[in-house]
Amino acid sequence: MIGSACAWFLASCAGFDGSVLVVERDPSLETASTTRSGSSIRQQYTTGINIRISQFAAEHIHNFRDQTGGDADAPEIAIRSFGYLFLATEAGAPTLREAAALQRSLGVPTRLLDPAALGAAFPAINTDGVALASHNARDEGYFDGDGMHPWWRKQAKKRGVEFATDEVIAIDRDGDRVVAVRLRSGDRIATGAVVNAAGPRASGVAAMAGLSIPVEPRKRFCWIFDAATPPEGPFPLLIDPSGVYVYPRGGAYHTGCAPEDDRAVAPDDLAMDPEIFMEKVWPTLAARVPAFEALKVRAEWAGHYAYNTLDQNAVIGPHPELRNFLLVNGFSGHGLQQAPAMGRGISELIAYGEYRTLDMSVLGCQRILSGQPFLEKAVI
Ligand SMILES: Cc1cc2nc3c(=O)[nH]c(=O)nc-3n(C[C@H](O)[C@H](O)[C@H](O)COP(=O)(O)OP(=O)(O)OC[C@H]3O[C@@H](n4cnc5c(N)ncnc54)[C@H](O)[C@@H]3O)c2cc1C
């Protein structure tokens, strides 16, 4: 998703007249985060920059055809705006209040709901233990991310971008510049700039350039299930205080969670935890939404977050020690929706050496070197 976004936005950037090569080790995208994603977008973040990034994502999605070259056969990408519903206990309520105030100041119509209002708005949800909830139904919900990245690639190809099936295995430096990447096929490609869009494998690619970044693959589990009796009334993307989430997807429901022991795993380890659904997820779902007492799992899979251990936020921009090596990594579970802003931002940094639209400098690499987190508190 991120590599394709960078390719499209660079190819369509007025100030860029170079050539672009995208190197992908596995074009089936079988193990990529992108194809294992929940593919949802939200505006409810706790930092202004993440809200603005999502606002641009929504604008790009709503105007996908026009923003990707205007071809009549462009896919129509819609946002199914059922809204995210964050539930907080007493301890979490102040964070929710603070976040809602920030979101509203930026034009997001987030509503805060006390337990009575919550029960009235979403009768299927058990409000036990909930002190406060927040909900926003504008530009929040499922979208077809898998319809977007192939189109970006197709349109980028039309504008001369090349795509190679190969693997970057080494990076050649000369002082503070990258001069070439070496591929498994034996090719050596001379480079003006290199963008690391390697998802959960990003720290391995950074290490090839002698850099250390705090991004690691962490497992997240997903299940698709049918409910014997669908819940009554509207159903949002519900985030339980336990971290288990659930939302309607394609006539069924998608639920997911993190492992109890949340730690770095090997980038090819996608094994499921055989116990977690019965031990944690189902009991949580049934307690929170009694209609989910009777359900049938249809599908399950594990995927990787490219987890930024410093602050669970994206890292975008040139590395201070290697000025033409740009990172666009560490999305920690919200990279699909951030791809349009990231692609545009990378294209501006390469073409102009600065942001021309949305200034995302607060997400730059300097904070990695200084160890200063820029924390996103709403990470699912
Ligand atoms: C279970 C789950 C649910 C999620 N839900 C959401 C959601 O609802 N909304 C949201 O916005 N985000 C969500 N995300 C996060 C989102 O999917 C990711 O942030 C996003 O897909 C990251 O895209 P990417 O291109 O950076 O990484 P990837 O999709 O992993 O792509 C990286 C690519 O780099 C290639 N690569 C790696 N190393 C090399 C190399 N050395 N040479 C060549 N190629 C290489 C890989 O083969 C891979 O195809 C979710 C993630 C998971 C796992």
> Does residue 378 contact residue 44 with C-beta atoms inside 8 Å?
yes
Query: What CATH number is given to the structural domain containing 363?
Result: 3.50.50.60
Ligand 1 centre to CA of 55 (Å) is: 21
pLDDT for 36 equals 98
Provide the b/e sequence for 42-65 (b: ≥16 CB within 10 Å): bbbbbbebbbbbbbbbbebbeebb
In a domain, residue 314? The reply is yes
Query: What CATH number is given to the structural domain containing 293?
Result: 3.30.9.10
Residues 231 and 180 in one domain: no
Ligand 1 centre to CA of 197 (Å) is: 9
Residues 228 and 304 in one domain: yes
pLDDT for 351 equals 98
Residues 172 and 66 in one domain: yes
Split into its structural domains, the chain has a count of 2
Ligand 1 centre to CA of 325 (Å) is: 19
Residues 23 and 171 in one domain: yes
Q: Which of 308, 327, 351 is the last residue of a domain?
A: 308
pLDDT for 73 equals 96
pLDDT for 136 equals 98
Q: Which residues pair with 24 in a beta bridge?
A: 165
Rounded-to-integer distance, Cα 364 and Cα 355, Å: 12
Rounded-to-integer distance, Cα 200 and Cα 31, Å: 10
pLDDT for 52 equals 98
Provide the b/e sequence for 158-193 (b: ≥16 CB within 10 Å): eeebebeebebeebbbeeeebebbbbeeeeeeebeb
Residues 241 and 302 in one domain: yes
Close Cβ partners of 4 (under 8 Å, ≥ 6 residues apart): 22, 148, 149, 150, 152, 153, 156, 339, 343
Residue 112, domain extent:
81-135+216-308
Residues 153 and 103 in one domain: no
pLDDT for 279 equals 97
Residues 179 and 269 in one domain: no
pLDDT for 66 equals 97
Residues 292 and 319 in one domain: no
pLDDT for 299 equals 97
- Taking CB atoms and a 6 Å cutoff, what residues make up the pocket around ligand 1? 1-3, 23-26, 29, 32-34, 36-40, 167-168, 197-201, 205, 220, 222, 256, 303-306, 331, 333-337
pLDDT for 38 equals 96
pLDDT for 39 equals 96
In a domain, residue 350? The reply is yes
Rounded-to-integer distance, Cα 325 and Cα 44, Å: 31
Residue with tokens 């929504």: 58
In a domain, residue 377? The reply is no
Residues 65 and 151 in one domain: yes
Residues 189 and 243 in one domain: no
Rounded-to-integer distance, Cα 82 and Cα 248, Å: 9
pLDDT for 94 equals 97
Cβ count near 228 (within 10 Å): 10
Q: 2, 9, 28, 33: which to mutate for ligand 1, most atoms within 8 A of CB? A: 33
Residues 25 and 105 in one domain: no
Low-confidence ranges of the chain (pLDDT < 70): none
In a domain, residue 110? The reply is yes
pLDDT for 133 equals 98
Residues 304 and 163 in one domain: no
Query: In whole angstroms, how far apart are CA 15 and each of 18, 327, 339, 351, 354?
Result: 9, 20, 20, 5, 12
Q: Which of 268, 293, 308 is the last residue of a domain?
A: 308
> Does residue 110 contact residue 134 with C-beta atoms inside 8 Å?
yes
pLDDT digits (tens, 9 = 90+) for 209-233: 999 999 999 999 999 999 999 999 9
